[in-house]
């Protein structure tokens, strides 16, 4: 009987441990030089139906860490960043034990590598925050990307490979018969995706340099895994000003009527000229990258960008930035763009800028960083006030939020604000979901229904290139 009880206890303990899984339990930093990245992000996923909590992390003296959150909701994840002390020359092997609630045994992470050039910086023991940038200044190097089958590990020829840096597509390549792409690139932080039918697309996200120049991406035929990261406890505030004139309760006045001058009287000797009606072709027959003013209204767009820390994962920030940059490329001088970002607080990134100032808009988009929790409700109310400042009578007035999840901070009556502004002033509200879960998608579809807009999901490079542009064309279409 005693042996039977011990066996049951061991089985239960193993089941609980399986409820928390790590994206990897072994990381090899390889050969480390002065320009090498010395930290790694490991994703821990709660596969159970109950909340789980990060309890403690037992580590050697020369390993440092930060975490995105202690609480893990069912079917959600957190990120723990581990950094090694790169001031000590030579080989290293560290083991870190991570304890979670409900499990007697820890998850053990192994870290190894070889420091060839010790760091000379004084902050070598700091674990960089989730907005940190890799070192710069090195020359270009050959980056090798290999795409393989996740089960057989056989190379996949003719797969499409996309390189994205800071939200901008910098390369689109096809693998050779060995499943390989070799390109000369500068070191940096890249979001690299690979795709080929009938496989599900997959990605790599991380820092590459001359010493870490090999990336292998596995493709499988299974469904895309839903990715959702609970909001972090680490909050980084920035000093950008919040518009002081936005009241707690937004009251939007009726737009001033357009007063037209009396037309010149028609004399008997003047010929009567009949206006020829403009024939507007179906939307599907107009080129995708065209915003001809004869077919599309001028747009006044206020973007609300999710800059919470959950957007750091799975290339979400790059997909968001890329979708906006692609749109900016085709905007007209008469179009107006305002950009807000929200995390723990709401900040103005770009204030009422015309569509011909493309470099200024793109630079603002590329500079967006993440921090804190999601004050989405407050951002929506602020966005409507700012959108009204450039209201276009008879134009395409939109508020568009781009996010990966729900709001957990700020105003909760945003749905009424959305519905009121759509019914009274025709201001459309749409949502772009970046790798959202089905739960988020269902909720947002109910929200956009109140604002006359649409819910758009962006899960891939192709989506980022086309879907936001498609929503602007749909709402601005005169037909």
The tens digit of pLDDT for each residue in 331-351 reads 889 999 989 888 767 788 888
* Residues 376 and 290 reside in one and the same domain: yes
List the single range of 24-38, 94-108, 113-127, 246-260 with lowest mean pLDDT.
246-260
* Residues 77 and 170 reside in one and the same domain: no
Provide mean pLDDT across the span 168-183.
90
Tokens of 186: 């500068």
If phi > 0 it is left, if psi is from -120 to 50 it is alpha, else beta; for residue 121 that is beta
Domain count along the chain: 3
- Between residues 456 and 245, the one the model is more confident about: 456
Is residue 249 over pLDDT 60? Answer: no
Residue 385 lies in a domain: yes
* Residues 139 and 113 reside in one and the same domain: no
pTM metric for this prediction? 0.62
* Residues 409 and 310 reside in one and the same domain: yes
* Residues 442 and 305 reside in one and the same domain: yes
Distances (CA, A) of 178 to 97, 144, 175, 278: 39, 12, 7, 54
d(CA 299, CA 395): 6
Asked if residue 168 lies in contact with residue 366, where contact means CB atoms within 8 angstroms, the answer is yes
Closest CA to 85 of 65, 68, 66: 65
| Domain end marker among 225, 252, 272 | 225
Residue 238 lies in a domain: no
Residue 255 lies in a domain: no
d(CA 399, CA 419): 12
* Residues 119 and 191 reside in one and the same domain: no
Helices 316-328 and 358-366, packing angle to 10 deg: 180
Is residue 415 over pLDDT 70? Answer: yes
* Residues 41 and 167 reside in one and the same domain: no
* Residues 195 and 292 reside in one and the same domain: no
Residue 235 lies in a domain: no
Strand, helix or coil at 434?
Answer: strand
Residue 9 lies in a domain: no
* Residues 327 and 451 reside in one and the same domain: yes
What pLDDT is attached to residue 155? Answer: 92
Residue 93: band (very low, low, confident or very high) from pLDDT cuts 50, 70, 90: very high
* Residues 163 and 71 reside in one and the same domain: no
List the single range of 252-261, 380-389, 390-399 with lowest mean pLDDT.
252-261
Residue 133: band (very low, low, confident or very high) from pLDDT cuts 50, 70, 90: low
CATH code at position 342: 3.40.50.410
User: HSE-up of 92 (CA within 13 Å, CB side)?
Assistant: 28
d(CA 27, CA 61): 18
* Residues 292 and 408 reside in one and the same domain: yes
Is residue 261 over pLDDT 70? Answer: no
d(CA 432, CA 467): 9
Closest CA to 208 of 193, 186, 184: 186
Residue 165 lies in a domain: yes
Tokens of 6: 């011990």
Closest CA to 460 of 311, 325, 319: 319
What pLDDT is attached to residue 37? Answer: 75
Q: Which residues contact 96 (CB under 8 A, 6 or more apart)?
A: 57, 58, 59, 60, 63, 65, 82, 108, 109, 110, 111
Strand segments (E) across 331-395: 336-342, 346-354
List the single range of 59-73, 232-246, 368-382 with lowest mean pLDDT.
232-246
Q: What is the greatest pairwise CA distance in the chain? A: 114
- Domain of 438 in residue numbering reads as 283-476
With residue 72 as reference, give the H or E element that holds it.
strand 71-72
CATH code at position 212: 2.60.40.1120
With residue 84 as reference, give the H or E element that holds it.
strand 77-84
Residue 154: band (very low, low, confident or very high) from pLDDT cuts 50, 70, 90: very high
* Residues 376 and 400 reside in one and the same domain: yes
| Domain end marker among 209, 225, 241 | 225
Asked if residue 303 lies in contact with residue 400, where contact means CB atoms within 8 angstroms, the answer is yes
Residue 254 lies in a domain: no
d(CA 241, CA 160): 42
pLDDT, mean over the chain: 77
What pLDDT is attached to residue 210? Answer: 75
CA torsion angle for 123, 125, 128, 134 (degrees, to 10)?
70
Strands across the sheet with 299-306, in order?
346-354, 336-342, 299-306, 396-403, 428-434, 452-458
| Domain end marker among 86, 110, 128 | 128
What pLDDT is attached to residue 391? Answer: 86
What pLDDT is attached to residue 126? Answer: 61
DSSP code string of 112-126: EEEESS----TTTTP
CATH code at position 34: 2.60.40.10
- Beta-bridged to residue 165, according to DSSP, are 168
pLDDT per residue as tens digits for the range 184-239:
888 778 889 999 989 988 888 877 777 778 889 999 886 655 444 443 332 322 33
User: HSE-up of 393 (CA within 13 Å, CB side)?
Assistant: 6
Helices 316-328 and 461-476, packing angle to 10 deg: 40
- Beta-bridged to residue 196, according to DSSP, are none
Residue 265 lies in a domain: no
DSSP 50: S
Provide mean pLDDT across the span 318-332.
88
């Amino acid at each position: 009987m005693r042996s039977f009880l011990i066996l049951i206890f061991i089985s239960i303990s193993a089941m609980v441990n399986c409820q928390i899984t790590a994206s990897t339990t072994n990381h090899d930093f390889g050969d480390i030089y002065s320009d090498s990245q010395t930290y790694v992000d490991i994703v821990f996923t709660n596969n159970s139906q109950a909340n789980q909590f990060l309890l403690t992390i037992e580590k050697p003296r020369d390993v440092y860490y930060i975490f995105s959150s202690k609480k893990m909701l069912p079917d959600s994840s957190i990120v723990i960043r581990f950094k090694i002390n790169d001031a000590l020359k030579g080989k290293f092997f560290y083991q870190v034990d991570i304890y979670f609630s409900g499990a007697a045994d820890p998850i053990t992470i192994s870290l190894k590598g070889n420091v060839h050039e010790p760091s000379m910086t004084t902050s070598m023991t700091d674990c960089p925050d989730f907005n940190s940038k890799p070192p710069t200044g090195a020359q270009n190097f050959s980056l090798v990307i290999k795409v393989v089958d996740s089960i057989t590990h056989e190379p996949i020829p003719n797969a499409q490979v996309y390189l994205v840096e800071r939200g901008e597509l910098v390369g689109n390549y096809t693998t050779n018969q060995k499943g390989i792409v070799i390109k000369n690139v500068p070191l940096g932080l890249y979001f690299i995706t690979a795709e080929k039918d009938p496989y599900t697309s997959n990605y790599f996200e991380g820092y590459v340099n001359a010493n870490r120049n090999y990336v292998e991406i596995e493709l499988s035929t299974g469904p895309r895994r839903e990715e959702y990261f609970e909001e972090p406890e680490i909050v980084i505030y920035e000093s950008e000003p919040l518009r002081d004139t936005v009241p707690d309760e937004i009251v939007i006045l009726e737009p001033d009527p357009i007063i037209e001058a009396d037309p010149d009287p028609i004399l008997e000797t003047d010929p009567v000229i009949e206006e020829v009606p403009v024939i507007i072709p179906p939307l599907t027959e107009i080129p995708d990258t065209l915003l001809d003013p004869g077919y599309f209204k001028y747009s006044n767009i206020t973007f609300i960008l999710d800059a919470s820390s959950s957007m750091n994962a799975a290339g979400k920030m790059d997909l968001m930035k890329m979708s906006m940059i692609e749109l900016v490329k085709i905007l007209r001088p008469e179009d107006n763009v305002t950009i807000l970002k929200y995390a723990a607080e709401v900040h103005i990134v770009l204030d009422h800028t015309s569509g011909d100032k493309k470099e200024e808009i793109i630079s603002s988009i590329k500079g967006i960083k993440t921090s804190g929790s999601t004050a989405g409700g407050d951002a929506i109310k602020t966005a409507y006030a700012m959108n009204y400042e450039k209201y276009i009578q008879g134009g395409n007035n939109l508020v568009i939020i781009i996010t990966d999840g729900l709001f957990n901070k700020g105003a909760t009556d945003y749905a009424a604000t959305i519905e009121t502004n759509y019914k009274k002033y025709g201001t459309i509200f749409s949502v772009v979901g970046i790798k959202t879960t089905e739960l988020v998608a269902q909720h947002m579809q109910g929200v956009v229904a109140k604002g006359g807009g649409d819910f758009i999901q962006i899960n891939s490079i192709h989506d980022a290139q086309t879907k936001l542009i498609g929503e602007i064309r749909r709402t601005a279409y005169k037909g």
